[in-house]
C-alpha cells in the first residue's frame, strides 16, 4: 500500500488522506485481476467505444432523469434530480484524456453528482482530439458555461473528472481573470483526478507506475500529443497547474492514491492554497483513477461523492 504524503502534510488543514476499508481493498484486488491485463491498451480513437462501454456500466442514480439539450450551442445531456435547488446548475466536463468520452456514456455517473448536490447538471459533448485538438474542447465548455448563465441561472458550479477536471480548472481560472468576469464567476469547482500538468512532470507518473492498473506513461504521452498538437504543454490554458490561481472560487479535489496522476492533484491544490484559494485535497488510499465510477460497490466512491454533494449544495445556495 502506498502513502500519498509525508507525515508533516497530514497536519495541514487542506489535506486529508482516507485509509482503505477492508471491503474496498477486496473489491480492488478483484478489479485489478480483471483490468491489469489490458493496462495501457486503450489507444487512439479506436478506444472510444470501449471507453464508453466502461462508463456506461456505472449504475444510475435513483430519482434522476435525463434529457438531451443544446446549451451555448453545444449539445449534451441534462441530469435532473427530483430534488434540486432552483436557479442553480452544475456544468460537468467528462473525462477521457481529451480523446474519448461522451455525455451519454457519462450521464449515469454525473447523475450521482447531481443527486447529491441537488442541482440540475449539464454534460456537454465538447469536441475531442485528435480531430479537434487544443483549444477546441476548451472553447466548447466555455460556450456551454456562458450558455447556462444566459439561461438565467444565478449560481453555476464546475465539476470534471480526469481530462474534464483539467478543463474545469482551466475554465475556472479563465473566468476569474477575464475582463468580463463579473457575474460570470463560477460558484465553486470540483475535480476528480484532474490532469493538471500536460508536461507530465509529476513524480507519481513514475512512483505510481506499478500501482496504477490502467495507464502507462507511453500511452498517456500519445494521448496528450494528440490533444495538444503543436501547442506548448506548459500553456496555462492547457495545464491549469501553471495558471494564475489567485481569486479563484472554492475548489475541492479528490484523487486515488494508486494513480499516476496523484501529483497532478497534490501540486495543484498546494499552489491554490499558496494563492489564497479555499482549496482542499482528499486522497483515497488503495483506489485507482476513476474510483467514483464504482459507486454502490466501493465505500470510498460513495463517501467522495457525498462530500462533493455536500460541498456543492453549500456553494450553490441561491437563497442567501
Does residue 306 fall inside a structural domain? yes
Give the integer Cα–Cα distance in Å for 251 and 172: 9
| pLDDT more than 70, % of the chain | 94
Which pTM does this prediction carry?
0.95
Of residues 227, 124, 239, the one with CA closest to residue 170: 239
Mean pLDDT of 4-18: 65
Instruction: Give residue-wise pLDDT tens across range 173-184.
Output: 999 986 554 557
pLDDT score, position 177: 84
pLDDT score, position 115: 98
Does residue 74 fall inside a structural domain? yes
pLDDT score, position 99: 98
Does residue 2 fall inside a structural domain? no
Residues serving a catalytic function are: 162, 259, 289
Does residue 254 fall inside a structural domain? yes
Q: What is the span of the domain harbouring residue 238? A: 7-315
Give the integer Cα–Cα distance in Å for 215 and 250: 30
Instruction: Give residue-wise pLDDT tens across range 43-96.
Output: 999 999 999 999 999 999 999 999 999 999 999 999 999 999 899 999 999 999
Q: What is the CATH number of the domain that holds 150?
A: 3.40.50.1820
C-alpha cell at 12: 495541514
Instruction: Give residue-wise pLDDT tens across range 218-264.
Output: 999 999 999 999 999 999 999 999 999 999 999 999 999 999 999 99
Mean pLDDT of 290-312: 98
Q: Where are the alpha helices (DSSP H) in the chain?
A: 22-35, 48-56, 103-117, 136-150, 163-177, 204-207, 217-228, 262-274, 299-315
Does residue 152 fall inside a structural domain? yes
* Number of domains comprising the chain: 1
Question: pLDDT category, 8, cuts 50, 70, 90?
Answer: very low
Give the integer Cα–Cα distance in Å for 110 and 160: 9
Give the integer Cα–Cα distance in Å for 120 and 71: 13
pLDDT score, position 180: 55
Does residue 166 fall inside a structural domain? yes
- Angle CA 143–148–149, to nearest 5: 100
Give the integer Cα–Cα distance in Å for 12 and 45: 42
The pairing of beta strand 88-93 with beta strand 251-256: unpaired
Amino acid at each position: 500500500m502506498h502513502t500519498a504524503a509525508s507525515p508533516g502534510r497530514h497536519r495541514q488543514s487542506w489535506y486529508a488522506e482516507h485509509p482503505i476499508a477492508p471491503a474496498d481493498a477486496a473489491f480492488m484486488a478483484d478489479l485489478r485481476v480483471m483490468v491489469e491485463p489490458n493496462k495501457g491498451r486503450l489507444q487512439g480513437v479506436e478506444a472510444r467505444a470501449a471507453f464508453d462501454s466502461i462508463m456506461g456500466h456505472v449504475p444510475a442514480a435513483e430519482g434522476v432523469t435525463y434529457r438531451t439539450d443544446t446549451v451555448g450551442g453545444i449539445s449534451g445531456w441534462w441530469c435532473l434530480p427530483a430534488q434540486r435547488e432552483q436557479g442553480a446548475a452544475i456544468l460537468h466536463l467528462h473525462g477521457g484524456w481529451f480523446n474519448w468520452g461522451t455525455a451519454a456514456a457519462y450521464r449515469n455517473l454525473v447523475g450521482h453528482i447531481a443527486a447529491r448536490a441537488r442541482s440540475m447538471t449539464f454534460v456537454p459533448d465538447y469536441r475531442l482530439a485528435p480531430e479537434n485538438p487544443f483549444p477546441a474542447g476548451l472553447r466548447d465548455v466555455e460556450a456551454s458555461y456562458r450558455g447556462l448563465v444566459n439561461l438565467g441561472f444565478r449560481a453555476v458550479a464546475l465539476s470534471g473528472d480526469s481530462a474534464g477536471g483539467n478543463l474545469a480548472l482551466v475554465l475556472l481560472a479563465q473566468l476569474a481573470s477575464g475582463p468580463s468576469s463579473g457575474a460570470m464567476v463560477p460558484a465553486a469547482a470540483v475535480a476528480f483526478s484532474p490532469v493538471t500538468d500536460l508536461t507530465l512532470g509529476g513524480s507519481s507518473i513514475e512512483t505510481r507506475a506499478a500501482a496504477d492498473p490502467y495507464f502507462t506513461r507511453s500511452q498517456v504521452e500519445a494521448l496528450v500529443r494528440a490533444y495538444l498538437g503543436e501547442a506548448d504543454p506548459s500553456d496555462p490554458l492547457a495545464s491549469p497547474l501553471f495558471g494564475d490561481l489567485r481569486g479563484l472560487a472554492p475548489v475541492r479535489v479528490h484523487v486515488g492514491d494508486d494513480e499516476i496522476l496523484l501529483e497532478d492533484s497534490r501540486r495543484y491544490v498546494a499552489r491554490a492554497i499558496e494563492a489564497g484559494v479555499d482549496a482542499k485535497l482528499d486522497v483515497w488510499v488503495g483506489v485507482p483513477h476513476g474510483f467514483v465510477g464504482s459507486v454502490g460497490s466501493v465505500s470510498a466512491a460513495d463517501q467522495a461523492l457525498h462530500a462533493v454533494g455536500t460541498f456543492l449544495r453549500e456553494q450553490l445556495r441561491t437563497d442567501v
